[in-house]
Structure formats: structure tokens, C-alpha cells
Amino acid sequence: MSPLKIKKGASSHSAYDLRDPHAEAIERHTLAVVVDNEAGVLARVIGLFSGRGYNIESLTVAETDHTGHVSRITIVTSGTPSVIEQIKAQLGRIVPVHEVHDLTVEGPSVERELGLFKVAGTGDKRVEALRLADIFRVNVVDSTLESFVFEITGTPEKIDAFAELMRPLGLQEVARTGVAALSRGDGAH
């Protein structure tokens, strides 16, 4: 036994999430990054991910406070727990970054994405597409006699599921916004 009172590998004194460092399990995390809306800030964030070999699954960015010149970048990324920890620490070092929140571990959160789907077809396929759209509570934002543009909002999984259904029904084009996310309940982050 070590004469020290601290067990090797103990995490009780850690300011960090110290799950098993050797766990190779890849986790998916949604990060909310609050930044100064200044020139080049998005390039800094993206450059960090490419320069250090991290994954970006989805990324959205828009100004959220016009007077304060503050933008919110929502990033969905994946990696082992230690990689995720590094990503957060590295994001935190970027000078115009104010806050980094890991919505995946900081309590319950909601995630939404918007997708636009162009589906072309006639006859049964067209009817079926419209019927499924209805089930998914999808809006029709454009239609011709031979095509629809559907607007769907939901979790990325829901949008994936809808895409799968539309594929055999004449899916022509998809545009997705990427994820926007907020923590649930009272309190900002």
C-alpha cells in the first residue's frame, strides 16, 4: 500500500471529470461555446479541431447577443473521455472564448436541428411521402405538382430517421442546419 492517503488514480480532488483514462469507448458530446463575435473566431475553433485531429460531427454558429457581440457555437464532437476533456480545455484557451459548456455532462439538455428535404415523385410515392411527413409533424414549405420541400425540426436522430424513410420515395436533396442545444430548466448555459 502507498503510504500516501491518496489512492493512485483517485479522482476526488480533481476539478475534472476523471473517468477511466484508458477507457477507449468513444463518446459523443454536445458542447456550447460562447465567444466574442469577432473576425476569425470560427476559424480559430475549426483550426483547433483540424490542427489537433479532433472530430466535428456538427457545428452551428450564430450571433446570439447583438449588443454584446456574443455568438454561440454548438459543436457535436466525439472522442474518448480524455480527448473530450482536452477539447474542452483547448477551447477554453482560445482568447475570445468566454465559456465552454459540455451539455452532455452538465445535466439534461435539449437538442434540435432543422432539416429541409426535397422529395420528388408522383402517384403512390408522393402520397406516401406526404403521409409520413404528417406523422413526423413536418411542414411543407414548397410544393409543385411533382415535388415537396419538407421542413423538419427535431433531434438529429429524428431527422436521420425521416431521411431514411424519404430515400425510397424520391429524396433529391437535403440541407441540415446542425445541432442547436440548450440546457433544460432554469439558469443559463
Partner 1 sequence: MSKTQMTGAKMVVQALKDQGVEVIFGYPGGAVLPIYDEIFQQNQIRHVLVRHEQGAVHAAEGYARSTGKPGVALVTSGPGATNAVTGLTDALMDSIPIVVLTGQVPTFMIGNDAFQEADTVGITRPCTKHNWLVKETDELSNTIHQAFHVATKGRPGPVLVDIPKDVQFASGKYTAPKAARVSHYQPPVKGDIETITALVEAMETAKRPLFYTGGGVINSGPAASTLLRELVEATGFPITSTLMGLGAYPANGEKWLGMLGMHGLYEANLAMHDCDLMINIGARFDDRITGRVQDFSPGSVKAHVDIDPSSINKVIRVELPIIGDVGHVLEDMLRIWKSRGRKTNGEAVKKWWAQIEKWRKVDCLAFKQEGNVIKPQYALSRLEALTKDHPSRYICTEVGQHQMWAAQYLGFNEPNRWMTSGGLGTMGYGFPASVGVQMAHPDALVINVAGEASWLMNMQEMGTAVQYRLPVKQFILNNERLGMVRQWQELLHGERYSESWSSALPDFVKLAEAFGAKGILCSDPADLDDAIMEMLNHDGPVIFDCLVTKHENCYPMIPSGEPHNKMLLGEVSTKDAIGAKGAVMV
* Interacting residues toward partner 1 by CB under 8 A: 2-11, 13-16, 18, 21, 36, 39-40, 43-44, 47, 51, 82, 85-86, 89-90, 92-96, 98
- 39/135 with CB nearer partner 1: 39
- Closer residue to partner 1, CB minimum distance, 15 or 135: 15
CB of 120 to partner 1, least distance (A): 40
| Number of CB atoms found within 10 A of residue 93's CB | 9
How far is it, in rounded angstroms, from Cα 70 to Cα 87? 21
- Choose between 2 and 67: whose C-beta lies nearer to partner 1: 2
Pairwise CA distance, residues 73 & 97, whole Å: 10
Closest contact distance (angstroms) between CB of 88 and partner 1 is: 8
Nearer to partner 1, 15 or 188 (CB): 15
Total residue length of the chain: 189
How far is C-alpha 25 from the chain's CA centre? Answer: 19
Helix (H) or strand (E) segment spanning residue 174 = strand 171-176
The answer to whether 44 and 75 are in contact (CB under 8 A) is: no
Minimum CB separation from partner 1 for residue 187, in Å? 20
